[in-house]
Amino acid sequence: MRPCGIWKSREVPINTSGSEITIDGSYGEGGGQVLRTALALSTLTGQSVRIENIRANRPKPGLRPQHLTAVRAAAAICRAHVTGDALGSPTLTFSPTCSAQAGRYTFDVSEATEGGSAGSVGLVLQTVLLPLALAEGNSHLVLRGGTHVPWAPSASYLEHVFLPFLSKVGISARITISRWGFYPAGGGEIEIRIAGGSALTAIQRTERGALRRIWGLAVVTNLPAHIPQRMADRAGRYLAAADLPAQIEPRRLRGAGPGSRPMAVRDCRQSVWPRPSAKTCWLITRVRLLLIPIWPIRPSCRSPWPPAPRGS
């Protein structure tokens, strides 16, 4: 083991043999998930990796700003040696020099490209969350960029669905949305506090359990106040007509640019909308399509995220 930084590290073997694992980034859907998973596993195990054909099946292959920021974030927490970390690069090598180090970090997606970027902060978090949760010591992250953008899990989804579910397996993390950032302006910011030294436990969830409530938000930035109110009212009427009463709160906030996002959460005893019923899924989809004036988002009944073919 080769610890570094001010925190005591766990016993993670660091690869000093010079060998590396080669990963084909075009495998499967050929998107950014191969890259993010490879970086997280490399950080956790100390194994050097070479990733080729990064995002080969995307309209704009190679590293985009959010992916480049994820690379740099992973490299920062394990002091990795990196080559190929440039916009558009199809190949990357990543060699950790020490275990993941807890601490305070700030990563800004807009700094990855001239003119800024609304790249997803959620995708950056996805890369470093598990290594920091298993590191010794607590961490505090500040991530800047797009918080609610297409083709990526929103910060609200992470806050209200993803992280609460992870707490059931032993990972403790909390998100605060300081500023909402929509495409194309970005400018959002989230803070994440991650408790280190997590002990992972297995869980079994085969039933959703009884429905406790449906609630949601209708949020706009830099738009007139009547818009979120109309969004909330219309969503409430559609859900109530299907015997699914919901509390939808309108919010008008300031941001780097105009944007809107309605969100509905189905809170069940065993889960928080990971797999809504077909009826609820259709209704929430219908509500979102009716309310989003800038772009349509069509959540799948099989997943709480929008389909991810393009920007991930």
Q: In this model, does residue 228 exceed pLDDT 50?
A: yes
**At 271, is the pLDDT very low, low, confident or very high (cuts 50, 70, 90)?**
low
Q: Is the pLDDT of residue 43 over 70?
A: yes
Regarding predicted confidence, which is higher, 240 or 196? 196
- Among left, alpha and beta (phi > 0; psi -120 to 50; other), residue 209 is left
Calculate what percentage of the chain has a pLDDT beyond 90.
66
Which tokens belong to 255?
């941001």
Which residues lie below 8 Å from residue 7, measured CB to CB, with a gap of 6+?
Answer: 101, 102, 103, 135, 136, 137, 196
- Mean pLDDT, to the nearest integer, of 29-39? 95
CA angle in degrees (0–180, nearest 5) for 121-177-156: 75
Per-residue pLDDT, averaged over 159-188, amounts to 94
pTM to 2 decimal places: 0.81
Q: pLDDT per residue over 52-84, tens digit each?
A: 999 999 999 999 999 999 999 999 999 999 999
Say if residue 309's pLDDT is above 90: no
| pLDDT tens-place string over residues 121-171 | 999 999 999 999 999 999 999 999 999 999 899 999 999 999 999 999 999
pLDDT of residue 264: 85
Res. 292: pLDDT tops 50 = no
CB 218 within 8 A of CB 232: yes
CA dihedral 71, 75, 76, 79 (to 10 degrees): -170
Q: Residue 10: what pLDDT?
A: 45
Residue 272: per-residue pLDDT: 54
Q: Can you point out the beta strands (E) in 25-126?
A: 49-52, 81-83, 92-95, 104-108
Set out the domains of the chain in order of their start, with CATH numbers.
21-194 (3.65.10.20), 211-291 (3.30.360.20)
Assess whether pLDDT exceeds 90 at residue 312.
no
CA distances for 92 relative to 235, 300, 301, 303, angstroms: 45, 32, 35, 30
